[in-house]
Amino acid sequence: MARIRHLAIVSENRERLVKFYTEAFGMKVIEGVGPAIYLTDGYLNLAIIQKRPHYKEGLYHFGMEVDDVEKLKSVCKEFGAASEIQKRPANREAEYRVADPDGNLIDLSQHGWPV
């Protein structure tokens, strides 16, 4: 069974969003891999990403913790994924990424995120 474990938000001012989520909701900054600032509520994590020219502000992708990425490859293809499951760079929390039939990006991880 898959579990949603993180959301990634692109912001023109990521420090402002970090302050908002930590002060308004009590989230804590945690260590992470990659260029984002990572927050957690103890279960769900947020990756706050600084806006870049090719990034649209707002929800950028979400992440699923899954049991077996290899088994998902044929299932995602069968049900119309807009992309093949692809390996992510080593400097990211999630090991793989796929796009759903509408093109929404989904990070896939077997090891999950730190909490």
Domain ranges of the chain: 3-109
Its CATH architecture, for the domain 3-109, is Roll (3.10)
Q: Is the pTM value of this prediction over 0.75?
A: no
pLDDT beyond 70 at 114: no
Pair 26, 39: CB distance under 8 Å: no
Segment 4-22 shows an average pLDDT of: 91
Segment 78-100 shows an average pLDDT of: 88
Give the integer Cα–Cα distance in Å for 36 and 25.
19
